[in-house]
Amino acid sequence: MTQPDNIILVSPWIACAIIGLIITWPLYLLCKKRWYPTSSNDRDTTPPDWSTAPGSAEEKRPSFFHTWDPRFKIATLFAFCFVVVSLDALDTCLAALLISILAVFFSHTPWIRVQKRLVALSGFLTMFLVIMPFTSPAVEQETILLFPLLPTLPFHMYGLLTAVLICLKACSVALLMEPMFGTSSLTISLQALQQIGVPSPIIQMLLLTHRFIYLFQQEAHRMHRSMKLRGFSPKTNMATMCITGNFLGMLFIRSYERTQHVYEAMLSRGYNGIFPIYTQHRISAKDIAITGAWLITGLALLLFDAPAQALWL
């Protein structure tokens, strides 16, 4: 049986402090939100400038990500994401995270958007951090912490390290999504994907889905609102099931009719099965240089990570 190298008994005070922190931190955030709600005066009320394409070089603060050929950008950053995912050492993972943060910084992405993306991931990652140290198998030369009153549930430092690595890699990849897709409009990004080999029907479906998901959402909202105004409040009974069935059925019929009408409108404007390409890109030396720099960075990360990778072999 594998024996751990070091077993540390955690002092009750430290254990209490950790438990206290785990309980009070979310409570603090909750209370802060309730007592000090974001005032509408603090909100940025200036309407966005729609006269320039979002994520285009004409934007107020363009970065090299904005001007980088989207085909190269998506292919390179996608490959870089695979490199990040394959890393195994803490220092290379930290370096990858730092690179991602720098990429977000240089792409001029609003930090609030980044924060939202990371918050969306946080629940999932927290589960890793909580569960993995307690469930990880024992390995040689690892340190185990034993908390008071929990002698049968050892805290494996190796499990914690694995969870931290997963979190670092997940955050790095999530952050890279912003410069990859946030610095070009959706259409340009999707058409770049089409040009690098993603099948055209998938791209067209994604394009139309993105537009009409909002429309169907609005239609569903309006129908639900009118139901509410006529006194409907959902319950766990047969009547609610019937009404919900009618609602979904009507939504389906309307969606079907809508798709037919949209198709007719597309046909009447010359649609022949292929969406026109809106932007033509020319490969420049700058595109190749940026792509080369990213690839070298990726290779360097792999090189520094090699000793850690060797441990798996």
Which of the ranges 147-155, 174-182, 208-216, 300-308 carries the binding residues for another protein, by CB under 8 A? 208-216
Q: Which of 204, 134, 202 is nearest to 163 (CA)?
A: 134
The number of CA neighbours under 13 Å toward the Cβ of 47 is 3
Q: Is residue 215 involved in binding another protein (CB under 8 A)?
A: yes
Torsion angle of the four alpha carbons 90, 96, 99, 105, in this order, in degrees rounded to the nearest 10: -90
Both ends of the chain: CA-CA distance in Å? 20
Output the smallest distance, CB 201 to another protein, in A: 15
**Given the complex with another protein, which of 253 and 293 has the nearer CB atom?**
253
Task: Give the whole-angstrom CA distance, residue 83 versus residue 197.
Answer: 21
Q: Is residue 225 involved in binding another protein (CB under 8 A)?
A: yes
Task: Give the whole-angstrom CA distance, residue 86 versus residue 89.
Answer: 10
Q: Is residue 45 involved in binding another protein (CB under 8 A)?
A: yes
Task: Give the whole-angstrom CA distance, residue 4 versus residue 59.
Answer: 56
Total binding residues toward another protein, as defined by CB under 8 A: 57
**Given the complex with another protein, which of 161 and 227 has the nearer CB atom?**
227
**Given the complex with another protein, which of 145 and 203 has the nearer CB atom?**
203
- Whether residue 69 contacts residue 281, with contact meaning beta carbons closer than 8 Å, is answered with yes
Q: Is residue 177 involved in binding another protein (CB under 8 A)?
A: no
Report helix, strand or coil for 78: helix
Binding mask 15-44 for another protein (x = CB under 8 A): -------------------------x--x-
Q: Report helix angle 200-229 to 238-268, nearest 10.
A: 130
Q: Is residue 223 involved in binding another protein (CB under 8 A)?
A: yes
**Given the complex with another protein, which of 79 and 250 has the nearer CB atom?**
250
The only residue of 11, 115, 122, 226 in contact with another protein, by rule CB under 8 A:
226
Farthest-apart Cα atoms in the chain, separation: 75
Q: Is residue 198 involved in binding another protein (CB under 8 A)?
A: no
Burial grade of 182 (CB within 10 A; 0-12, 13-18, 19 or more): buried
The only residue of 105, 155, 247, 304 in contact with another protein, by rule CB under 8 A:
247
Binding mask 266-305 for another protein (x = CB under 8 A): xxxxxxx--xxxx-x-------------------------
Q: Is residue 54 involved in binding another protein (CB under 8 A)?
A: yes
Residue 10 per-residue DSSP state: P
b/e code 144-166 from CB counts within 10 Å (16+ = b): bbebeeeeeebbbbbbbbbbbbb
Sole residue written with tokens 């979310």: 26
Output the smallest distance, CB 281 to another protein, in A: 12
Query: Do the strands 6-9 and 155-156 form a parallel or antiparallel pair, or are they unpaired?
Result: unpaired
Output the smallest distance, CB 97 to another protein, in A: 31
Which of the ranges 67-75, 120-128, 164-172, 213-221 carries the binding residues for another protein, by CB under 8 A? 213-221
Residues within the interface to another protein (CB under 8 A): 40, 43, 45, 47, 50-54, 185-187, 207-208, 210-212, 214-215, 218-219, 222-223, 225-233, 239, 243, 246-247, 249-250, 253-254, 258, 261-262, 264-272, 275-278, 280
